[in-house]
Amino acid sequence: MKNIKLLILVFLSLSFFVACGDDEIPIPPRVEDEGVEEPIIEGKVSVWRTEKDGGLKLAKEAEDLPFTDEAEGDVSITIDDTQVKQEIDGFGAALTGSSVHVLTTDLDESQRAELLKDLFDPTEGIGIKFIRLTMGSSDFSLSDYTYNDQSAGQTDPTQSDFSLGFDNQDMIPLLQQILAINPEIRIMGTPWSPPAWMKTNNNMRNGGNLQTSFYQSYALYFVKYIEAMAAAGIPIHSITMQNEPLVATAYPSMEVSAEQQIVFIKDHLGPAFEAANIDTKIIIYDHNWDVPEYPLTVLEDADAKQYIAGSAFHCYAGDKEVMQDVQDAHPDKGIYFTECSGGEFSPDFSNNLSWNSRNLIIGSVRNSAKTVLFWNLALDQTNGPINGGCSNCRGVVTVNSGNGAITRNVEYYLLAHAGKFVQRGAVRIQTPDTEGQGIHQVAFLNPDSSRVLLVFNADSNMKRLRVSDDSGVFAYTMSGGMLATFVWE
């Protein structure tokens, strides 16, 4: 059997060389990764790749690459692990109410267990390490609700009626199942709206503002949430005050100016966390790249800044480089990328692989992001259920509500290329800017001293890489539009 396999590989290799002709650099044959965890071979480089057309997705090279004394290439990447950048908190997605519904209702117990292991297991799965939760309902939930809804005309400033309520049915048990797979997953909580009775429009939808008389009550709301989740065995790593605070929409939403966020954080939320001995990180903004003045304004207030861990960004407007501008202005505070969604508005695999590699998985990290999170973790075949929001957004995975069939979308493979290999506590390390040569790349140093290099070839032509660090030099030829991950000791 071994001889037959060898003959087949030889035949494929010869066929490929002939097909390439004299003017093209041949690429060795590859085999599809079957999901079996393979050890990193010391002194060699393991390679996983996804092709632009999706013909191969997270495919592992048949043979690891050797280090050599010398190698030539079109593009040189020199990795300097003495220049350490930001620590990475993780790659992941949002576990919305709709995602919870799909995972708990449209899959049976064994299907759900298998998918969760694939998504969250750090060794046998793709290693998602960060989850964003909606605090109450959002545009992707089954209904409107918060943790302290009151009858018309009623209020509860002391939060005596606070309860996780609806989340206790499915959200909490699902999170407990996920944490059993990987206890080190970090979790962020974000509200789309506070209880309607706290708002100027007495409505969870259509924007409105937080009434100043309820600032202290809303700070207590966050404290109660973090404490209730902790009691359920779910540690909340970080929170943002408001999802997309500059947008008033027909689904749960609230407008919060930079000045209002300053007052809320420095006079209410920060002191409330201190009084309750809560170390959950407070992250500001949580909106698009196009208004960096918002987080800059908040961070310029010293009294507010002392309670703030960093700023969060979304992808729907503006350019990723503003994250680095905010980082440069306040290098003592982190940058978090927290939302971007694919969808039927962009169905082409190649275009999505390219845009997300250049702007998110590689581009956002090169611009100091500690996290890269997609929007819904899972949706059904109708891109729902929805609660007034995007009707054609795509989940990281699609679950068919009729038969439980699972489709792993391009976002799944993008997360896999990073999350499967970048460990908890990894740091970004220095590499040169090679975008002008069509190569987008970012490198990491893991706590176990292994190195990870993500590379996307944005050129339509093949590019031969020459990669060097203190381990030596290796070379690799990438086809146009390919995303590749290199891992070595």
Q: What tens digit of pLDDT does each residue of 386-426 get?
A: 999 999 999 999 999 999 999 999 999 999 999 999 999 99
Same domain, 20 and 66: no
Q: Which of the residues 51, 244, 255, 411 is marked catalytic?
A: 244
Pairing of strands 483-488, 44-50: antiparallel
Domain co-membership, 197 together with 334: yes
* Predicted local confidence at residue 68, as pLDDT: 87
pLDDT of amino acid 331: 98
| Full residue range of the structural domain in which residue 481 is found | 33-84+429-488
Residue-level pLDDT, tens digit, the chain, 489 residues: 434 333 333 333 333 333 333 333 333 333 334 444 444 555 799 999 999 999 999 999 999 999 987 788 999 999 999 999 999 999 999 999 999 999 999 999 999 999 999 999 999 999 999 999 999 999 999 999 999 999 999 999 999 999 999 999 999 999 999 999 999 999 999 999 999 999 999 999 999 999 999 999 999 999 999 999 999 999 999 999 999 999 999 999 999 999 999 999 999 999 999 999 999 999 999 999 999 999 999 999 999 999 999 999 999 999 999 999 999 999 999 999 999 999 999 999 999 999 999 999 999 999 999 999 999 999 999 999 999 999 999 999 999 999 999 999 999 999 999 999 999 999 999 999 999 999 999 999 999 999 999 999 999 999 999 999 998 999 999 999 999 999 999
Helix (H) or strand (E) holding 329: helix 321-329
Reduced DSSP (H G I as helix, E B as strand, rest coil) percent helix, strand, coil of the chain, to 5: 30, 25, 45
Active-site residue, from 61, 255, 339, 411: 339
End-of-domain residue from the set 421, 448, 465: 421
Q: Are residues 311 and 387 in the same domain?
A: yes
Whose CA is closest to 476, among 19, 83, 30, 23?
Answer: 30
259 and 198 in a single domain? The answer is yes
Show which of 382, 397, 421 is a domain's final residue: 421
The 10 Å CB-count burial string (b at 16+, else e) for 18-54 is: eeeeeeeeebbbbeebeeeeeebeeebbbbbbbbbee
109 as an active site residue: the answer is no
Residue where one domain finishes, among candidates 421, 446, 473: 421
- Same structural domain, 49 and 153: no
The two three-digit tokens of residue 5, written as one number? 């396999």
Q: Tally DSSP H helices, then E strands, for the chain.
A: 13, 24
Calculate the alpha carbon distances from 26 to 46, 122, 133, 339, 449 in Å: 19, 34, 46, 38, 32
141 with 278, same domain? yes
Q: What is the pLDDT of residue 42?
A: 59
- Rounded distance between C-alpha atoms, residue 62 and residue 452, angstroms: 18
Q: Which of 369, 330, 441 is nearest to 130 (CA)?
A: 369
CA-CA distances (angstroms) from residue 71 to 41, 47, 58, 64, 310? 20, 17, 25, 16, 41
Same domain, 260 and 405: yes
**Cα–Cα distance for residue pair 221/67, rounded to 1 Å:** 56
Beta strands in 363-458 (DSSP E): 369-376, 378-380, 393-394, 397-399, 406-408, 427-430, 439-445, 451-457
d(C-alpha 442, C-alpha 454), whole Å: 5
Same domain as 105, residue 194: yes
**Same structural domain for residues 322 and 257?**
yes
Please check whether residues 129 and 196 belong to one and the same domain.
yes
Distance CA 269, CA 18 (A): 67
Backbone angles phi, psi at 16, to 5 degrees: -65, -40
pTM exceeds 0.85, yes or no: yes
Asked if 478 contacts 463 with a C-beta cutoff of 8 angstroms, the reply is yes
Same structural domain, 56 and 73: yes
Number of domain units in the chain: 3
CATH code for the domain in which residue 182 is found? 3.20.20.80
User: Are residues 23 and 120 both part of a single domain?
Assistant: no
Inter-residue contact 117 to 124 (CB < 8 Å): yes
Q: Among 39, 34, 33, 178, which residue's Cα sits nearest to residue 119? A: 178
Q: How far apart are CA 106 and CA 103, in angstroms?
A: 6
Does the annotation count 244 as an active-site position? Answer: yes
Q: How far apart are CA 394 and CA 449, in angstroms?
A: 36
User: For residue 435, what is the domain's CATH number?
Assistant: 2.60.40.1180
What is the bridge-based pairing of β-strands 59-60 and 393-394? unpaired
Residue 181 tokens, joined: 């797979």
User: 304 and 280 in contact (C-beta within 8 Å)?
Assistant: no
